[in-house]
């Protein structure tokens, strides 16, 4: 939100509020002035302990009328009696009971009975079956369309507005009011959540609102307090606007709601929902502030002997800003949800409870669509999985399969063994909802469901579904409440929507029964994402309200001192008015962020190439805009003037926004309050000094942050991979280079060796393609790619896909783009595992420091002030001394000193080619206990190096290297394959001159070796388990050599060869299939070559300072004990990994298992150490249990490496 946006928002807010509260709009949405007057009169009586008004609404031919007693033992009798009486009423077409809402829905003829006549029928039916006429009063909550909801808001606004006019006139005429002690109890009760709840439990929410508004307006007029009524009038105006918006929104959905209510009659057998009240930080503060106000009133009244002073002291501690910011936040959030997401806000108070939410409980049924698909195939070998998958899909399309597990033997053409899972297709925004829940820092819980698949890793806990989903959700909610959690429940079931969660979001899809009883009815998961996205803003609004309320109370207390300018309660009232804008702005900002990218609706890796091309047609040809082709908004002759002005305005706006964000620190309100209090007590110089230090510190930090962001933005723009988009046919060589951000699904891209893949894509042509996916899966070995579909395969085994951010290390591929931007697998994996970012540096600890130091500083100030009074010092001077002592304990200079030190350090690091994006992270280095390193690309460079080559059977070591080097094919001096490049470099370093090969067999996915023919000598290198089966000599020492090299942590290639006859050599030169046939038998072992990733020389000295025990081998290392045991190493508890370097005082650790990298930081932090991570990659692509899954599956299938103890290597040839 820039500078230009703020005045627009203010104007929009003012005009919108004025229009919505106009009398014409209000009367236009009711049954007329007479009906509104009757409802208002009954509501006034209800507010003062009279009989409750029957809630009802009328829209066209539909009537919604409240039914009482449905939560008692006679609920069934009451319901059937009322429905029967209504159906017997002339003019009534239909009547159905909705128990969840405690409403009977009546449809009448065009000239049918009025609402008042139907209400009389309902009351007579209730009176015949009521248990007792003097049964306890049970207030009912209003629906958005009920007349009582609008009447309550209009009455409250009318009382506040009338009181404001009267109080302002009295103040202008200098009329002396009664003592403020009369208004203090009413104001404290109105703004205390606990007291207000008790009144609402007795009178009902609507009647309590009218009661408090009328009483507050009367007291403020008597005490001549226009400031208090100004704040109340502003709040009531917002509430009227909210009610009118909700009513109009209800009218849009009411016909469909009525149709669904009739459709669900007899199906909904649930009781009305008993809402579970939430208690957040703002509520706790408001109650404590109210108690403090009572104590302050007692002390000041006794000390001064004046009731007016006691009343003013109590009013100065009333937490009005807390309520103001909460109400404005709820109003703006509800308006945005109705406007942008077609949400029906059934209970607006639920939006005020978001700040208290600590857990999200998600019904797994809302994460899926109605479309069925084949989700999993189990119990079959990989080579027949595709056939079984196709047969299951065909049977599903023919309607032969229902959701659930099916034996393949029962599916035509699927085979005999194994099972197929049929489940609903996942909603495109299901992953976004889970990701957003994790991002905002709240726990995410659901029930275990077969269709969740990889989405299950995003939940903190998956509960069993042994007793049905609705019962298990109820059981889970009960347990969460027992654990002190406050829950937001997302469900699409009426039975679950009536559970007593703090907030219930009901997903109401088209042509489905609404989850009656939910607080919010949303049409899809996009609205659920937006509600979760609003949780941080709700928590921030609560914190902001507490800060504003505390500051206003402090300033108000200072104003109560003799000879100090101002009035104590006025400080609170004016702050409450300003808090309305803060809450509105926070909620409105929730809708500034765009919706996330939806997940692709298809498993592209499971589909054949032809089907992918049909589903993703190529977009229309288009051109890419360059920097000089943007259309100007102004005529060309004004460009010299408008260009610099626009640039200057943009820079100023960016700086202002960054300045405001940096100013939003825990210490800022304390310093601002102390400075203002000091100025009021007669020390303006001290106030200016404190304010100057605060502003200079913020300005310096803002400048450094903007500079770093600008430099980083340039680097990221320069590093964005360019895509080679195919402009012609698939086999056409014509390509154009475009930024990755310009790609669209359906585009064809060509990727060559050494290129970063710009988007997720399905391969349609592969030529020896191998991809380094270590950044995504953690697997350090390149993965061979092909065009075959891989249905049901985990991420690491989807050989038909290219993933954005990975690198093509060998070969070439043409692929059709399936996903771009934030929806790519890399970005989704990173977002799924992310939690809310931890702030670092001293500023992040200021809240903790302030929280511990502030009570002591305040206590010291109070003690000094009291001692001064006991010595006979005047009250104002004693108060000034106490405030000065309290303010002096606040380290206002510390942020400036730290910021300057961080700035100097950042500049020094910049000279060493280190870009400091966040200067505050520099200061956190001094408190590190553990440094966590990733291996690939961090402690090692991302290329291989030959470190050992040894011969067997008397073959010289250099001859082994020469034989392997002959199989390397270099094009213009460049070698595409990583392993070939390592061998080629090793041969060049030894000065070997090799003859050109007469024939060559390159490595490819279905041929795990490479061969070359020079004269009559055939040389072959490849995977040991492949070549060993083709040797003529069995006891040759090759196995022992391979085991020895593997135990040393090397990746091993076997080298073999054979001598051919002249006829065989001639045939091999002319026919590649003949050459391949000669490689299948009669080979003689030559030796073995071992390679490993080259360690980065500038990185290893730091790690070597750590104790030797700290240098653990990762689990995928061939020499690790865990690998020899045939599995992935289990991470030791963080407490076992907390050794320290004797010299540096810092421990070093790296991951022992790829997928455990994500869990390392929470585990270390849970045991106390502060951890710093170093490395690249996402490691988000695997779920727990999938690490090294390829090797485990190979062992289960009896792969040769199981018996020989060798690691299968897709990079070996």
Beta strands in 305-356 (DSSP E): 344-345
Task: Name the pLDDT band for 973 (thresholds 50, 70, 90).
Answer: low
On whether both 1195 and 1127 belong to a single domain, the answer is: yes
- Average the pLDDT over 621-628 and give the result: 50
For the stretch 400-409, pLDDT in tens is 888 888 988 8
3-state DSSP call for residue 953? coil
Is the domain of 1082 the same as that of 1102?
no
**pLDDT for the residue numbered 713:** 64
Residue 558's SS3 state is helix
Q: By the 8 A CB rule, do 1048 and 1207 touch?
A: no
Q: Cβ distance 775 to 806 under 8 Å?
A: yes
Q: 1206: how many CB neighbours lie within 10 A of its CB?
A: 22
Report DSSP letters for 378-434, one per residue: ESS-HHHHHHHHHHHHHHHHTT---SEEEEGGGSTTS-SS-EEEEEEEEPTTHHHHH
Q: Quote the CA–CA distance of 940 and 1101 in Å, as a whole number.
A: 12
Q: Do 1085 and 1102 sit in the same domain of this protein?
A: no
Encode burial over 519-536: b for 16+ CB neighbours within 10 A, e otherwise: bbbbbbbbbbbbbbbbbb
Helix (H) or strand (E) holding 651: helix 639-663
Q: Cα dihedral angle (34, 38, 43, 48), rounded to 10 degrees?
A: 130
pLDDT of the residue at 584: 93
Contact 804, 759 (CB under 8 A): yes
With bands split at pLDDT 50, 70 and 90, how would you rate the model's confidence at 840? low
Collapsing DSSP to helix, strand or coil, 449 comes out as coil
- 279-320 tens-digit pLDDT: 888 999 999 999 988 988 888 888 778 888 888 889 989 999
Kindly tell me if the per-residue pLDDT of 880 is higher than 80.
no
Question: 631 phi and psi, to 5 degrees?
Answer: -75, 140
What is the CATH classification number for the domain harbouring 752? 2.70.150.10
Q: Answer yes or no: are the C-beta atoms of 852 and 799 closer than 8 Å.
A: no
| Residue 640 CB-density burial (10 A; 0-12 exposed, 13-18 middle, 19+ buried) | exposed
Dmax (CA) for the chain in angstroms is 123
Q: Do 965 and 1049 share a structural domain? A: yes
1200 in the same domain as 1123? yes
876 pLDDT tier (thresholds 50, 70, 90): low
755 shares a domain with 708: no
Q: Is 1027 found in the same domain as 946?
A: yes
Asked whether the predicted pLDDT for residue 133 surpasses 50, the reply is: no
Pick the range with the lowest mean pLDDT from 323-327, 591-595, 651-655: 651-655
Asked whether residue 663 is domain-assigned, the answer is yes
Evaluate whether residue 764 is within a structural domain: yes
Q: How far is CA 14 from the centre of its chain?
A: 33
Of 32-36, 90-94, 906-910, 1031-1035, give the lowest mean pLDDT range.
Answer: 32-36
* pLDDT for 952 beyond 80: yes
Number of domains making up the chain: 4
Phi-psi region of 811 (alpha: psi -120 to 50; beta: other; left: phi over 0): left
Q: Please return the burial class of 377, using the count of CB atoms within 10 Å of its CB with bins 0-12, 13-18 and 19+.
A: buried
1102: confidence class by pLDDT, cuts 50, 70, 90 = very low
Q: For tokens 């009661």, what's the residue? A: 211
- Please give the structure tokens belonging to residue 497: 């929507």
Q: How confident is the model at residue 502 (pLDDT cuts 50, 70, 90)?
A: very high
Distance CA(961)–CA(1089), nearest Å, equals: 7
Domain final residue pick, 854, 880, 903? 903
Q: Do 710 and 843 fall within a single domain? A: yes
pLDDT in the model for residue 1111: 41
Identify the weakest region by mean pLDDT among 644-648, 813-817, 1155-1159: 1155-1159
Taking phi over 0 as left and psi of -120 to 50 as alpha, with beta for the rest, 453 belongs to left
Decide if pLDDT at 77 tops 90.
no
Same structural domain, 1058 and 1011: yes
Strand, helix or coil at 611?
Answer: helix
Quote the tokens at residue 44.
């006034």
Question: Which has more confidence, 133 or 287?
Answer: 287
On whether the CB atoms of residues 253 and 343 are closer than 8 A, the answer is no
- pLDDT band for position 811 (cuts 50, 70, 90): confident
Domain for residue 458, yes or no? no
* Distance, CA of 160 to chain centre: 41
Domain boundary among 1092, 1116, 1149: 1092
More confident residue, 379 or 920: 379
Higher pLDDT, 895 or 432: 432
By C-alpha distance, which of 1070, 958, 1071, 1079 is closest to 1030?
1079
Q: Quick check: is 107 in a domain?
A: no
What amino acid positions are annotated as catalytic residues? 934
The reply to whether 768 and 818 lie within a common domain is yes
Residue 1190 vs residue 28, higher pLDDT: 28
Q: What's the pLDDT score for residue 1209?
A: 37
From 488, 476, 482, select the one nearest 355 (Cα to Cα). 488
**Domain extent at residue 1173:** 1098-1204
Which DSSP string do the residues of 13-42 spell out, in sequence order? Answer: HHHHHHHHT-HHHHHHTSS-HHHHHHHHHH
Q: Is the pLDDT of residue 1181 over 90?
A: no
Pair 1026, 1008: CB distance under 8 Å = yes
**What residues form DSSP beta bridges with 959?**
none
- Any domain includes 912: no
Tokens of 291: 């108690």
With beta carbons less than 8 A apart as the criterion, state whether 331 and 241 touch: yes
Is residue 464 scored above 80 in pLDDT?
yes
- CATH number of residue 961's parent domain: 3.40.1110.10
Answer yes or no: are the C-beta atoms of 933 and 1174 closer than 8 Å.
yes
The pLDDT of residue 496 is above 50: yes
The last residue of one of the domains, among 1070, 1092, 1114, is 1092
Q: Which of 419-428, 647-656, 790-799 has the highest mean pLDDT?
A: 419-428
Q: How far apart, in whole angstroms, are the C-alpha atoms of residue 215 and residue 186? A: 7
Helix axes 281-304, 183-191, angle to 10 degrees: 160
Q: With contact defined as beta carbons under 8 Å apart, do 950 and 1099 qualify?
A: no
Paired residues of 84 in beta bridges: none
Cα torsion 606, 611, 615, 616: sign: positive
Please write the tens of the pLDDT for every residue from 732-782. Answer: 667 888 888 888 888 999 998 888 899 999 999 988 888 888 778 777 677
Residue 264 structure tokens: 């669900």
Residues 1161 and 1031 in one domain: no
Where b means 16+ CB within 10 Å and e means fewer, 648-665 reads eeeeebbeebbbeebbeb
CB 749 within 8 A of CB 814: yes
Q: How confident is the model at residue 622 (pLDDT cuts 50, 70, 90)?
A: low
In a domain, 893, yes or no: yes
Question: What is the overall mean pLDDT for the chain?
Answer: 77
In what helix (H) or strand (E) does residue 756 lie, and over which residues does it extend? none
CA distances from 1147 to 165, 1134, 1135, 1141 (A): 70, 12, 12, 6
| Number of Cβ within a 10 Å radius of residue 617 | 10
Higher-confidence position of 483 and 70: 483
Alpha helices in 946-977 (DSSP H): 957-966
The whole-model pTM stands at 0.76
Q: How many CA atoms lie within 13 A of 1164 on its CB side?
A: 24
Instruction: Work out the pLDDT band at 1129, boundaries 50, 70, 90.
Output: very low
Expressed in percent and rounded to 5, the helix, strand and coil fractions of the chain are 50, 15, 35
479-500 average pLDDT score: 91
Q: Which of 464-468, 825-829, 1167-1171 reaches the highest mean pLDDT?
A: 464-468
The answer to which of 124-133, 1099-1108, 1190-1199 has the lowest mean pLDDT is 1190-1199
Confidence of residue 522 (pLDDT cuts 50, 70, 90): very high
949 part of a folded domain: yes
The segment with the largest mean pLDDT, out of 186-195, 715-724, 995-1004, is 186-195
- Inter-residue contact 802 to 813 (CB < 8 Å): yes
For the chain, give the percent of residues with pLDDT over 90.
22
Q: Is residue 577 part of a domain?
A: no
Predicted local confidence at residue 194, as pLDDT:
92
CA-nearest of 1153, 1132, 1149, 1150 to 1140 is 1149
Pairing of strands 930-933, 1147-1150: parallel
Q: Name the residue among 833, 726, 430, 758 with its Cα closest to residue 600.
A: 430
Could you give the C-alpha distances from 532 to 333, 343, 439, 475, 489, in angstroms and in order? 12, 14, 9, 23, 11
Q: Is the dihedral of CA 548, 551, 553, 555 positive or negative?
A: negative
| CA atoms of 1003 and 23, how far apart (whole Å) | 81
Q: What was the pLDDT predicted at 139?
A: 58
Q: Are 250 and 344 in contact (CB under 8 A)?
A: yes
Across 650-659, 929-938, 1148-1157, the highest mean pLDDT is recorded for 650-659
Specify whether the CB–CB gap between 794 and 377 falls below 8 A. no
**CB under 8 Å to 132, separation ≥6 — which residues?**
none
Distance CA 2, CA 807 (A): 39
Q: Looking at the structure, tell me whether residues 664 and 705 fall in a common domain.
A: yes
């Amino acid at each position: 939100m820039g500078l230009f946006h703020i005045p627009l928002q203010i104007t929009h807010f003012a005009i919108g509020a004025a229009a919505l509260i106009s009398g014409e709009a209000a009367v236009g949405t009711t049954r007329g002035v007479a009906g509104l007057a009757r409802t208002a009169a009954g509501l006034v009586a209800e507010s003062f302990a009279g009989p409750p008004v029957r809630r009802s609404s009328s829209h066209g031919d539909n009537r919604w009328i409240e039914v009482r007693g449905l939560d008692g033992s006679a609920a069934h009798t009451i319901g059937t009696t009322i429905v029967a009486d209504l159906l017997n009423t002339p003019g009534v077409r239909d009547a159905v009971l909705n128990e969840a809402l405690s409403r009977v829905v009546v449809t009448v003829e065009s000239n049918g009975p009025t609402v008042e006549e139907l209400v009389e029928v309902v009351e007579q039916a209730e009176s015949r079956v009521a248990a007792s006429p003097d049964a306890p009063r049970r207030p009912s909550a209003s629906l958005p369309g009920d007349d009582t909801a609008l009447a309550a808001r209009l009455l409250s606004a009318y009382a506040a507005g009338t009181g404001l006019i009267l109080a302002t006139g009295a103040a202008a005429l200098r009329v002396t009011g009664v003592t403020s002690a009369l208004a203090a109890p009413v104001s404290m009760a109105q703004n205390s959540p606990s007291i207000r709840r008790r009144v609402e439990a007795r009178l009902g929410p609507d009647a309590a609102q009218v009661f408090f508004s009328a009483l507050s307006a009367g007291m403020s007029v008597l005490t001549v307090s226009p400031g208090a009524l100004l704040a109340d009038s502003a709040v009531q105006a917002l509430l009227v606007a909210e009610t009118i918006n909700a009513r109009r929104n209800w009218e849009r959905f009411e016909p469909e709601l009525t149709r669904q209510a009739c459709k669900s009659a007899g199906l909904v057998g649930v009781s009305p929902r008993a809402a579970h009240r939430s208690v957040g930080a703002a509520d706790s503060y408001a109650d404590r502030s109210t108690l403090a106000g009572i104590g302050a009133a007692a002390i000041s009244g006794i000390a001064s002997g004046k009731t007016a002073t006691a009343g003013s002291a109590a009013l100065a501690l009333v937490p009005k800003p807390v309520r103001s910011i909460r109400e404005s936040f709820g109003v703006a959030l509800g308006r945005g949800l109705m406007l942008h997401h077609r949400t029906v806000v059934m209970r607006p108070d639920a939006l005020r409870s978001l700040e208290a939410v600590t857990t999200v409980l998600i019904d797994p049924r809302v994460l899926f669509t109605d479309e069925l698909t084949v989700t999993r195939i189990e119990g079959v070998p990989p080579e027949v999985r595709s056939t079984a998958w196709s047969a299951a899909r065909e049977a599903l399309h023919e309607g032969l399969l229902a959701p659930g597990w099916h034996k393949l033997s029962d599916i035509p053409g699927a085979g005999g063994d194994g099972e197929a899972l049929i489940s609903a297709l996942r909603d495109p925004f299901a992953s976004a909802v889970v990701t957003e829940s994790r991002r905002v820092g709240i726990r995410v819980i659901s029930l275990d469901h077969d269709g969740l698949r990889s989405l299950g890793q995003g939940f903190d806990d998956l509960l069993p579904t042994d007793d049905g989903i609705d019962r298990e959700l109820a059981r889970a909610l009960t347990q969460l409440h027992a654990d002190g959690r406050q829950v937001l429940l997302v469900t699409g079931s009426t039975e679950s929507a009536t559970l007593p969660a703090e907030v219930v979001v009901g997903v109401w899809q088209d042509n489905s029964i609404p989850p009656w009883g939910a607080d919010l009815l949303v049409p899809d998961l996009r609205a659920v994402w937006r509600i979760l996205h609003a949780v941080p803003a709700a928590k921030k609004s609560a914190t902001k309200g507490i800060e504003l309320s505390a500051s206003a109370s402090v300033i108000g207390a200072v104003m109560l001192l003799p000879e100090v300018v101002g009035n104590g309660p006025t400080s609170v009232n004016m702050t409450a008015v300003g808090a309305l804008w803060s809450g509105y702005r926070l909620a409105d900002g929730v809708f500034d962020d765009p919706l996330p990218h939806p997940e692709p609706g298809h498993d592209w890796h499971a589909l054949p190439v032809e089907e992918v091309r049909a589903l993703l047609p190529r977009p229309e040809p288009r051109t890419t805009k360059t920097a000089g082709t943007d259309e100007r908004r102004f005529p060309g002759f004004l460009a010299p003037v408008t260009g610099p002005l626009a640039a200057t305005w943009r820079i100023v706006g960016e700086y202002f926004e960054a300045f405001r964000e940096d100013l939003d620190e825990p210490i800022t309100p304390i310093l601002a309050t102390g400075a203002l209090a000091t100025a009021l007590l007669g020390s303006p110089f001290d106030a200016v000094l404190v304010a100057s230090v605060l502003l200079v510190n913020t300005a310096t930090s803002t400048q450094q942050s903007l500079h770093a962001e600008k430099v980083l933005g340039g680097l990221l723009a320069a590093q964005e991979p360019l895509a080679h988009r195919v402009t012609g046919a698939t086999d056409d060589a014509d390509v154009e280079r475009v930024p990755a951000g310009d790609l669209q699904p359906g585009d064809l891209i060509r990727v060559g060796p050494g290129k970063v893949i710009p988007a997720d894509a399905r391969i349609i042509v592969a030529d020896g393609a191998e991809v380094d996916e270590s950044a995504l899966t953690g697997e350090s070995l390149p993965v061979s790619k092909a065009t075959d579909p891989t249905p049901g395969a985990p991420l690491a085994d989807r050989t038909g896909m290219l993933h954005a951010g990975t690198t093509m290390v060998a070969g070439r591929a043409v692929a059709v783009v399936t996903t771009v931007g934030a929806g790519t697998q890399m970005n989704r994996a990173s977002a799924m595992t992310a939690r809310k970012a931890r702030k670092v540096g001293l500023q992040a600890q200021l809240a903790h420091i302030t929280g511990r130091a502030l009570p002591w500083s305040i206590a010291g100030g109070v003690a000094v002030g009291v001692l001064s009074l006991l010595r006979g010092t005047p009250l104002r001077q004693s108060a000034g001394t106490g405030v000065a002592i309290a303010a002096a304990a606040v380290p206002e200079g510390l942020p400036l000193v730290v910021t300057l030190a961080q700035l100097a350090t950042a500049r020094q690091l910049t000279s060493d080619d280190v870009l400091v994006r966040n200067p505050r992270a520099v200061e956190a280095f001094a408190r590190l206990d553990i440094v966590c390193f990733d291996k690939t690309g961090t402690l090692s460079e991302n290329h291989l190096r030959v470190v050992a080559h040894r011969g067997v059977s008397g073959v010289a070591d250099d001859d082994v290297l020469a034989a392997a080097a002959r199989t390397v094919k270099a094009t213009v001096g460049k070698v595409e394959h990583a392993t070939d490049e390592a061998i080629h470099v090793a041969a060049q370093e030894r000065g070997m001159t090799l003859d050109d090969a007469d024939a060559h067999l390159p490595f490819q996915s279905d041929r795990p070796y490479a061969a070359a023919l020079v004269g009559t000598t055939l040389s072959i290198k490849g995977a040991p388990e492949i070549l060993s089966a083709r040797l003529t000599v069995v006891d040759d020492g090759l196995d022992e050599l391979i085991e020895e090299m593997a135990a040393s942590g090397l990746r091993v290639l076997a080298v073999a060869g054979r001598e051919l006859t002249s006829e065989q050599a001639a045939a091999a030169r002319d026919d590649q299939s003949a050459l391949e046939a000669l490689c299948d038998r009669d080979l003689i072992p030559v030796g073995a070559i071992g390679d490993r990733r080259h360690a980065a020389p500038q990185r290893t000295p730091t790690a070597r300072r750590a104790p030797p025990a700290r240098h653990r081998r990762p689990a995928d290392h061939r020499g690790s004990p865990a690998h020899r045991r045939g599995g992935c190493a289990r991470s030791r508890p963080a407490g076992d990994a907390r050794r320290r370097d004797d010299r540096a005082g810092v421990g070093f650790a790296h991951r022992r298992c790829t997928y455990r990298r994500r869990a390392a930081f929470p585990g270390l932090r849970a045991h106390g150490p502060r951890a710093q991570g170093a490395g690249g990659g996402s490691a988000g692509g695997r779920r727990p249990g999938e690490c090294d899954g390829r090797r485990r599956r190979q062992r289960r299938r009896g792969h040769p490496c199981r018996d020989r103890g060798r690691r299968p290597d897709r990079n070996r040839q």
